[in-house]
Amino acid sequence: MSQEFKKTACILCSINCGLEIQLDGRRIAKIRGDKAHPASQGYLCEKPSRLDYYQNGRDRLTAPLRRRPDGGFEEIDWDTAIREVAARLAHVRDTYGGDKIFYYGGGGQGNHLGGAYSGATRAMLGSVYSSNALAQEKTGEFWVDGQLFGRPRCHTTGDYEHAEVAVFVGKNPWQSHGFPRARAVLRAIASDEKRALIVIDPRRTQTAELADYHIQVRPGGDAHCLTALLAALIQENLTDSDFVERHTRGFEDLTRHLQTVSVADYCARAGVPEAQIREVARRIAGAKSVSIFEDLGIQQAPHSTLCSYLEKLIYVLTGNFAKEGGMNIHTRFASLGGGGKGGMRVSPVGGHRIISGLIPANVIPDEILTDHPDRFRAMIVESTNPAHSLADSRRMREALDALDTLVVIDIAMTETARHADYILPAASQYEKWEATFFTLEFPHNDFQLRAPILEPLLGTMIEPEIHSRLVRALGGLDEADLAPLRAAADKSWTAFGEAFLAAAAVTPMLGKLAPVVLYETLGRTLPDGAQAAAALWGAAQSCAMSFPESVRRAGFEGEGMELGNALFAAILRERSGIMFTVDEYEDTWRRVETPDGRINLIVGELMDEFVGLAGEDPAARNPEFPFVLSAGERRTSTANTIYRDPAWRKKREIGSALRMNPSDAERLGIDAGGRARITTKRGSMETVVELTDTLQSGHVSLPNGLGLSYPNENGERLIEGIPPNELTSGEDRDWLAGTPHHKHVPARVEAA
Ligand SMILES: Nc1nc2c(c(=O)[nH]1)N[C@H]1C(S)=C(S)[C@@H](COP(=O)(O)OP(=O)(O)OC[C@H]3O[C@@H](n4cnc5c(=O)[nH]c(N)nc54)[C@H](O)[C@@H]3O)O[C@H]1N2
Ligand SMILES: Nc1nc2c(c(=O)[nH]1)N[C@H]1C(S)=C(S)[C@@H](COP(=O)(O)OP(=O)(O)OC[C@H]3O[C@@H](n4cnc5c(=O)[nH]c(N)nc54)[C@H](O)[C@@H]3O)O[C@H]1N2
Ligand code: SF4
Ligand SMILES: [Mo]
């Protein structure tokens, strides 16, 4: 066993804590936190200790696969795979138009470089529509950011380290993280009597156990709960009137409505004590600083876009914006959005709103399973598993099967890959240069380029090379264009930059193919074989151009392209990652993009829904489906579908259980450790039950990421736990953003 610890990062959630790994041959033997990582500083949760189950899973793909006429797969060599995939997709483009080739994915929790390079393949194909997992969680929030602050990219982040009061709405950071060193930060708030932790969650989560105030809202009652909180702020004159007057627009109109809201009535509907809501309103108003985190508990539940709006009003009306401990608009190293052509506003078949370049994930099957001439005919799926992770798996599988061509780029044989015409096996995230664009922090934002710690598994390929070869096979790279760029790259990055800009001005396609052009030119000159990092040179340049002052404060020097070069050089050099921007609180105001720099308090499109809450009862249930199922809870035993082998979970049975309140179980005749059948309008499945009073009566919960098919030692595929989206339905989604109601699925439970 090698004694050396190699620096890399955890790939299991968006925080990407810095790791040091000791190898035993190709096995991941020892893992510890990297103290030099600028954000995680050595912090780790329990999940990465099992990373060998990812790296050396039995499900790893080791050769390109082609579907045979009999439905099985056969191995083919890479040259054949690239040639045939390019030809099949070009055929779709030439027959029906490149806009019929839909791209889904581009990265998971640890890997966004593949997605960066896929832009070139898409440009060759004329593929303009895309989406990814953000379009089933964050697009409603992004849209609201756009309404309040001017553009969807005006994304705010909390400052939980410094906040006097931290509020979590439908978010369980003890388990799911979402900000660096979450457990340490939560413990610090909980143990300081001058600070307060507020949790709005129907379930008594680990975070709620620590909280000063656990607002145990009724499932689906958030819109009423948040409105009651806002009404209490307004009616008790608890808002920051100076801030509101100087920085916002629409307060009168908003107040007119909130003055009419009965706090008592809305609290009753939400299932929360009025006294608690009023006390929390006063605690928030009296605090020096407040940060608020909203997540899937509202983003994947009824009124999700409206709830995002109400959540943001709380911190805006109390002036907790653009200040220490409050909410701020952060920098970004690169965009997480979908790209594509600027003008596209709605999906081609159903006319569904596109937000941040992303088609709502829930409507993807509707855009395929139709005879509409503009339907998607082909799909490229990269580093994501939509047949498992999107609503209504059965319909998603039908849609995948209805495509002319499905190409899947993954490291493992997934639920989605099984429907592909071609599967291209990627090298794992420990076998290549990788990075994520989850750069969401303020005032210190960090970025880490990870070096490979292992050679690619035989037969696999890194995504940048896959895309480069596809672009070449599609006729996109001309050696005559590349040679002068290579020569310039040999001189200096500045010479390269100038040559590239000049060449792209003459041949615009070079600009559209930029990631792959950089890979084939500049990439070949990078030290330590970091060819795959080439696209980051472009990202570093645009980051330095967008946030020059913040990049300078982080210690980088130079004018124009030199500043971006300095940033890029540090990225290549620092294996633990770098702080790429340091902000001042005033920067947040410079990033507000409304015409007059004020925050809009009125969002016209949401007002009917907002006012309509008065006539709604969130406790109403269909007698046929009296339970609310939260399908996809984050537990210590879940990590999306990144770990496929069920053996990674230490307590296998209980980790996959349906959680329910003991009183419900007793009424239904289900014993502790017994089994239950859960039925929704889309499906019915059986599983083991865990009894716990952390759930309210009438609320049951299943973990996310389970129910994967995985081969045992004999190669037989077994499924452990419930694949949650066998039970969900595509039509249960937010009317505006199209985000799914996964946390709020009407269900029936019976003893099995
Ligand atoms: N361990 C682990 N961590 C993860 C992941 C993982 O798979 N495993 N996945 C990562 C990913 S991709 C994401 S997006 C994040 C998600 O992170 P979270 O959003 O924190 O995760 P969830 O557990 O899905 O949902 C949060 C909470 O919503 C609550 N909830 C359910 N219904 C309602 C409701 O009606 N109202 C309110 N207010 N709350 C409700 C649930 O009880 C739950 O505690 O986690 C990331 N971190
Ligand atoms: N019912 C329900 N459904 C949900 C959720 C829920 O709470 N409830 N949560 C949703 C959320 S928030 C999210 S983010 C999604 C996540 O679901 P997906 O978007 O499907 O993402 P992951 O499960 O993270 O899958 C990542 C895929 O990337 C592959 N992979 C890993 N490393 C590499 C690599 O280096 N290269 C390539 N090419 N592939 C790689 C893995 O094998 C895996 O197939 O699930 C969503 N689905
Ligand atoms: S918090 Fe997220 S990134 Fe950090 S160790 Fe845990 S799963 Fe990995
Ligand atoms: Mo997610």
For the Cβ of 177 lying below 6 angstroms from any atom of ligand 3, the answer is yes
- Structure tokens of 272? 């929360």
Question: C-alpha angle 530/20/464, rounded to 5°?
Answer: 25
Residue that has been written with the tokens 């590349």 in this structure: 482
Question: Please, what's the b/e burial string for 565-592 (b: 16 or more CB within 10 A of its CB; e: otherwise)?
Answer: bbbbebbbebbbbbbbbbbebebbeebb
Return the residue whose CA atom lies nearest to atom 17 of ligand 1.
Answer: 176
* Cβ 447 vs Cβ 556: under 8 Å: no
Q: Is 223 in the pocket of ligand 1 (CB under 6 A)?
A: no
User: What is the overall mean pLDDT for the chain?
Assistant: 97
Which numbered ligand comes closest to the C-alpha of 452?
Answer: 2
The Å distance, Cα 16 to ligand 3 centre, comes to 6
Q: What is the distance between the alpha carbons of residues 293 and 313, in angstroms, rounded to a whole number?
A: 13
Q: Which of 746, 744, 704, 613 is nearest to 301 (CA)?
A: 744
Contact 230, 236 (CB under 8 A): no
Give the number of whichever ligand sits closest to the CA of residue 698. 1
pLDDT class of 339 with cuts at 50, 70, 90 = low
Q: For residues 225 and 191, what is the distance between their CA atoms, to the nearest angstrom?
A: 27
Residue nearest to atom 2 of ligand 2 (CA): 632
Q: Which long-range contacts (CB under 8 A, 24 or more apart) does 534-539 make?
A: 534/464, 535/113, 535/116, 535/117, 535/464, 536/113, 536/435, 536/449, 536/568, 536/571, 537/493, 537/564, 537/568, 538/514, 539/116, 539/333, 539/334
Instruction: State which amino acid sits at residue 137.
Output: E
CB count in 10 Å sphere of residue 188: 14
pLDDT tens digits, 431-477: 999 999 999 999 999 999 999 999 999 999 999 999 999 999 999 99
pLDDT of 40 strictly over 70: yes
Phi, psi of 639 (to 5 degrees): -155, 65
Span 8-28, average pLDDT: 98
Residue-level pLDDT at 731: 98
138 SS3 class: coil
Cα–Cα separations (whole angstroms), residue 483 to 467, 469, 488, 521, 622: 19, 17, 9, 8, 67
**Nearest C-alpha to atom 41 of ligand 1 is from which residue?**
297
pLDDT score of 694 more than 90: yes
CATH architecture, domain 5-55: Single Sheet (2.20)
What is the residue whose two structure tokens read 């090698």?
2
Q: Which pTM was predicted?
A: 0.98
Distances from the Cα of 349 to the Cα of 100, 356, 363, angstroms: 11, 19, 10
The span from the CA of 573 to the CA of 246, in Å, is: 45
* DSSP letters for 91-102: HHHHHH-GGGEE
By percentage, how much of the chain surpasses pLDDT 70?
99
Read off the pLDDT of residues 153-180 as tens digits, 9 standing for 90 and up: 999 999 999 999 999 999 999 999 999 9
Q: Which ligand is nearest to the CA of 133?
A: 2
Residue found by looking up tokens 């190409």 in the block: 407
Please indicate whether residue 220, judged by its CB atom, sits closer than 6 Å to ligand 1: yes
Is residue 695 within 8 Å of 661, Cβ to Cβ?
yes
Contact 673, 751 (CB under 8 A): no
Please report the atom of ligand 2 found closest to the CA of residue 633. Answer: 7
- Strands 27-33, 405-410: pairing is unpaired
Residue 12: which pLDDT band, with cuts at 50, 70 and 90?
Answer: very high
Q: Kindly give the pairing relationship between strand 378-382 and strand 101-105.
A: parallel
> Which CATH fold would you assign to the domain 156-329+606-611?
Dimethylsulfoxide Reductase; domain 2 (3.40.228)
Indicate whether 342 pLDDT > 70.
Answer: no
For the chain, the domains span 5-55, 58-137+346-426, 156-329+606-611, 478-584, 621-751
Please write the tens of the pLDDT for every residue from 498-543: 999 999 999 999 999 999 999 999 999 999 999 999 999 999 999 9
- The CA 632 to ligand 1 mean position distance, Å, reads 7
pLDDT of 687 > 50? The answer is yes
- Residue 426 beta carbon below 6 angstroms from any ligand 2 atom: yes
Q: Is 415 in the pocket of ligand 2 (CB under 6 A)?
A: no
Q: Ligand 3: does its nearest atom lie under 6 Å from the Cβ of 12?
A: yes
What pLDDT does residue 253 have?
97
Q: In this predicted structure, what is the pLDDT of residue 341?
A: 47
Q: Report which bound ligand comes closest to the CA of 199.
A: 1
Q: Is 170 in the pocket of ligand 1 (CB under 6 A)?
A: yes
- Does any ligand 3 atom lie closer than 6 A to the CB of residue 44? yes
**Ligand 3 atom closest to the CA of 33, numbered from 1:** 5
Output the CA 383–ligand 2 centroid distance in Å. Answer: 7
Q: What is the pLDDT of residue 338?
A: 61
For the stretch 281-301, pLDDT in tens is 999 999 999 999 999 999 999
The rounded Å distance from CA 389 to ligand 2 centre is 7
Look at residue 581 in the predicted model and tell me its pLDDT: 98
What is the CA(743)–ligand 1 centre distance, in A?
Answer: 9
Ligand 1 atom with minimal separation from the 203 CA: 42
Q: CATH number for the 58-137+346-426 domain, one of 3.40.50.740, 3.40.50.1980, 3.40.50.1370, 3.30.70.60? A: 3.40.50.740
13 lines ligand 3 (CB under 6 A): yes
Based on the number of CB atoms within 10 Å of its own CB, is 288 exposed (0-12), middle (13-18) or buried (19 or more)?
middle
pLDDT at 340: 47
Q: SS3 helix, strand, coil % of the chain, rounded to 5?
A: 40, 20, 40
For ligand 1, whether the C-beta of 219 sits within 6 Å is: yes
pLDDT at position 3, please? 86
CATH class of segment(s) 621-751: mainly beta
Say which residues have a Cβ less than 8 Å from residue 557's Cβ, sequence separation at least 6: 563, 566
* Total residue length of the chain: 752
410 pLDDT higher than 80: yes
Is cis: bond before 443, omega within 30 of 0? yes
- Indicate if ligand 2 lies below 6 Å from the C-beta of 414: yes
Mean pLDDT of 4-21: 98
CA pair distance 477, 517, nearest whole angstrom? 8
